[in-house]
Amino acid sequence: MSPEKFLSSNVWVARMKTYFKVMDADQNGFLSLSEYEEIAERLVQNQKDRSKDEEIRAVFRSLFNNFVAGGNQVDPETQIPYEEFLANAAKAVSLMQSSREVGKRKNEVFFDFVDTDGSGEISREEYRKYLAIYSGGEDTDRADRAFDSIDVDGNGSITRAEFIEGHLHYWFESTSDPSYSPLPYGPLVDS
């Protein structure tokens, strides 16, 4: 699917705006490398397994460089406004669309970051911490609504398959299926 197709979907644009607002922890209207580095450090501090520290930092640098900044040159002062992020995200998702496997592998890595106790499932508390790490503050209602939207079997935990499918649907589907609308970052903001 072309970037224009994603950009023409009001639902997909609202998803990206929601993600942007969650990741813009200082709420200044820009995403910066320092915000992604801070998120990585909060995630590192949440891990029991210290062997993941450098991987987490590398994943967040790559996410900012390739997804948020569109592969453009970045430095500590780089700030990406929403419209630029939106265009870059549409391009990145369009390129990744041809290989669902790439998106699956990326979300496997994130699942392991969130599943801090290594149980193979994400608890409600682990998911609350994950979203608090992203946004820089707790919002239990938003986190619980996000959790419930991904826990499709309603058993009180998110399996690896539910996590991956929920995130793939969120990022790669340009329209919304009312019977399955995962909201991994919480309810959508107005588009």
The enclosing domain of 57 has a CATH number of 1.10.238.10
DSSP collapsed to 3 states, the chain: CCHHHHHCCHHHHHHHHHHHHHHCCCCCCEEEHHHHHHHHHHHHHHCCCHHHHHHHHHHHHHHHHHHHCCCCCCCCCCEEEHHHHHHHHHHHHHHHHCCHHHHHHHHHHHHHHHCCCCCCEEEHHHHHHHHHHHHCCCCHHHHHHHHHHHCCCCCCEEEHHHHHHHHHHHHHCCCCECCECCCCCCCCCCC
Residue 180 lies in a domain: no
| pLDDT string in tens for the chain (191-residue length) | 789 999 998 889 999 999 999 999 889 999 999 999 999 999 999 888 788 899 999 999 999 999 999 999 998 889 999 999 999 999 999 888 666 777 788 889 999 999 999 999 999 999 999 999 988 889 999 999 999 999 999 999 999 999 999 998 898 886 655 555 788 998 888 74
Domain housing 9: 3-172
Examine residue 152 and state whether it is found in any structural domain, yes or no: yes
Q: How many domains does the chain have?
A: 1
Q: Decide if 190 is inside a domain.
A: no
